[in-house]
Structure 1
């Protein structure tokens, strides 16, 4: 099996091509509803770039703290507007949820995206007091894991507030990606792939749960297992879930995924 095929998700998910359009419509409805009742702060700049903005979704009362969700798309696709509704299960528990966009490849290298998302977390942290929990899906799972394992990307006062990290279906070892066709866009070289691979960094000193769907491609099952093994952390395999619906639990206040993030 070619590596390109191994990392292809949509073609192996029933009606996989329909998911982005569905997400966009559901996200728009949620965003408009939350903005109408004053629980959405949209287009908060964390830098000067066009995509260096975040949306902040607030609970009805004083926030318990902050969850930052970083979206996936192989660092090449999507926008925060696609995922707004996935804040629903967390705000229901009283947590504020920040969702940043970031500059996409090839305009930014993955190492630059890591630094951008660090600035997004710091900006959101200045808006919401209390503990911080990081989660993200796919490439976003990579980014939250990368931020959690250190290297100077996050200001220490923000790092000290992080209490839990839940990478969902993360790409934790970037070295295999160097041989993929998509690397024509990502422009990874061996040094950057090594430096940006969470599996090659020390584990963070906060609780981590690596989450992955049981029906995901073997490559993503491997990536999740590699990270959990390298860090010696909890590894949860979500029965019946594939790479696209593995995040559905974020919409459900009582889901196992929301419970894991807020544990």
Structure 2
């Protein structure tokens, strides 16, 4: 369809086919190294995929980062991304990584509600500040967590930062992609799930992250969200859609500093 190529990331990244297997291997090795500090498969809902992994630092955590994976709401689960917890853990923060049901088994609105349920569950299990981040479709879901109708005020008061990475902030263009056969979006559903149209939002510090070498539509999507919310926009040089998330594993990165409030 008209916008298939515009939203096709892998087709424009050299060696893209190798990334998923590398992510999975690095994530598996990370969990093995962490040993008992990795609590995997904590249920937050009734479904098989409604679970999260919770990684703990060596000391009592200063807070918790929640990372929401991407994949156009169609692919992946929490097991591919465990190694990205390395940055927050080194800064003394716990990290929670949820899976969720995928389209077309559930609509995007249903996934949003599942992630809100996961955030509430993580908040009940942890203490201190909470920062939420996510990548691509996960960036959309991270932004949606500021909807005042999704998470409780008690949890919202604990939000230190929300950092959508390469988010999809306006879902309407996806109706002009082949993916929509599974996403099932019409104009009303796309608008209802688009963060750029969120007006009743919890207050939180927001920064929108995106790689300078990403597809033009993702640069647009990030800018649209930053403009709509009056948020900081960070365009990371020499990073594309698949490696812009690598900074999450680096405790000294600007991204980790933004999530944990540490320089």
TM-score range, shorter chain: over 0.9
- Whole-Å Cα distance in 1 between the matches of residues 9 and 193 of structure 2? 22
> How far apart are the structure 2 equivalents of 1:63 and 1:23?
25
Question: Does 2:198 correspond to 1:201?
Answer: yes
- Which residue in the other structure is 2:160 paired with? 163
Separation of aligned partners in 1, 2:90 and 2:80: 20
Aligned to 2:24: 24
Q: 1:44-63 maps to which residues of 2 (within 5 A)?
A: 44-63=42-61
Equivalent position SS for 2:164: strand
Task: Give deviations 1:140-186, integer Å, cap 9, x for gaps.
Answer: 000010111x1411122112211210000000000111111000001
SS at match of 2:114: helix
Q: Distance in 1 between matches of 2:39 and 2:25?
A: 19
| Kept in 1: contact 2:148–2:202 (CA 8 A) | no
CA RMSD, Structure 1 to Structure 2 (Å): 1.1
Unaligned runs of 5+ in 2: none
Could you tell me how far apart the structure 2 residues matched to 1:108 and 1:133 are?
Answer: 26
1:204-240 Cα distance to aligned partner (Å, 9 max, x none): 4211000000000000000000000000110000000
The alignment covers a number of residue pairs equal to: 260
SS in 2 for 1:4: coil
Say which SS state the counterpart of residue 246 (structure 2) adopts: helix
1:14 partnered with 2:14: yes
Task: Name the residue aligned to 2:118.
Answer: 120
C-alpha deviation, 1:33, in angstroms? 1.3
| 2:63 aligned residue (55, 62, 65) | 65
**Runs of 4+ with >3 A deviation:** none
Alignment of 1:1-263 (within 5 A): 2-35=2-35, 38-148=36-146, 150-202=147-199, 204-263=202-261
Q: Secondary structure at the match of 2:160?
A: strand
Q: What runs of 5+ residues in structure 1 fail to find an aligned partner?
A: none
| Structure 2 CA distance for aligned equivalents of residues 86 and 5 of structure 1 | 28
For 1:223 and 1:147, the matched residues in 2 are separated by: 17
